[in-house]
Structures are given as C-alpha cells and as structure tokens.
Amino acid sequence: MNDFNTVLFDLDGTLTDSAPGIINCYRHALNAMGFEEPEDIMRVVGPPLYDSFAELCGMNSEQVQEAVRIYRQRYADTGLFENKVYDGIPEMLKRLKDSGKRLMVATSKPEVFAVRILEKFQLAEYFEVIGGADINGSRNEKSEVIEYVLSRAGITDRNEVLMVGDRSHDIIGAKKCGIPCMAVLWGYGSREEFIQHGADFITETPQALTDGLIYQ
C-alpha cells in the first residue's frame, strides 16, 4: 500500500449507518407521490439521491425534483438522526489523525446535512474539510464532490490521496479523479461489487483499515 497522507471518507455506510433515515424518507416521498417502492429498497442507500429516484423509480426530471423536496423536508427534521456511528469509527479517526493523516469527508449527501450529522456525533473535529453535494442539486456526482474537497484543501499532488467508501460510486468517482479507492465491508456494498468495479483495496474493519494506513 502506498504511503497515503490524505484520506477522504464517504459518510453514509462508511462512517455512519444511515440506512434507517434514508429509507424512511425515501418511502415517505414515494408514498406522497404515488410511486411504488423499488424491489430492493437498500439500493437507494449510497448513490446520489437524484439518481436513485430517476433510475430506480423511473421518475422524470420534474418528478425527481419534487421527490427530493419531499424527502428532504422529512430528512431535515427527522431522518437526519435516524442514524448511528459504526463501532470502531471514533477510535479509527483518532488514531489516523494522531498519526499525522489529513482527514476529510467527501459525500454525495448535501454538505449542510453532513456537517450537522458529524457535529451531532462529535466526529467533525477530526476532519479538515467536510465536503458534500450542493443542496440545489449541483455538485451531485461523486467525482465532482471529490474534486471540490481536494480544491478546498489545496491539494494538487494526488499521489498520496486515498478515497474510502462502501459503494461502487465511490470507486468510480475516485477513478475519475485519478486516486485509488479502499472499499469497506462493514457498509452497504459487497466484496463482489468492489471487485467488479476495481477497488484498489478492500478492508473488513475500521481497525484493519487503520493498521493498514499507519503500519504500511
């Protein structure tokens, strides 16, 4: 493994188990608009929200905008904190930061929500940059969020940057930005998904991730 100095973390499925809030809000929006629930509801957890409503539910652009509005209305009040931190995450972040790593968040979740979640769970202090999607729907793709975070951090040399996530879009986004991706098995993705999309590394626990980055 390379000597990675900067580590970008996804949020949902990587730092926190946010599935209950996401699914509850997704169902709320679908019910309000008269759409049926996708066969595999867990597929909505991870990818950008706009993509999920369009690709999994067959909504047109106007319907997607309305679904996102309804979803976020509930999410901002309730769904945001139907969420919990995975075991071992605070210890992982502390060890990495104490070892001198630059830690950042790159999430497809709107940045304003990501900041509130990380502050609520007392994780914000570990991150130099918390970057996410724009609430108006711009900067929606994972690669756009990664580029945004790297720009905010003033990083031009990407040789020491690693993306950490739990779904294929993390891997795809990292590759578009020319950085490797470590996929984590405690989130919502599978080993098969990671291999199919060419994850550079796969790890099973926060402790194993930390050991691999510190004692490489």
Strands laid side by side in the 201-203 sheet: 129-133, 102-110, 6-9, 161-165, 181-184, 201-203
Is residue 10 part of the annotated active site? The answer reads yes
Cβ neighbours of residue 75 under 8 Å, at least 6 residues apart? 21, 22, 25, 113
Q: Measured between alpha carbons, how far is 38 from 112 in angstroms, rounded to an integer?
A: 27
* DSSP string for 51-117: HHHHHHH---HHHHHHHHHHHHHHHHHTGGGS-EEPTTHHHHHHHHHHTT-EEEEEEEEEHHHHHHH
Please tell me the number of Cα atoms within 13 Å of 18 on its side-chain side. Answer: 28
Please identify which of the residues 10, 17, 166, 170 carries the catalytic annotation: 10
Q: Which residues are catalytic?
A: 10
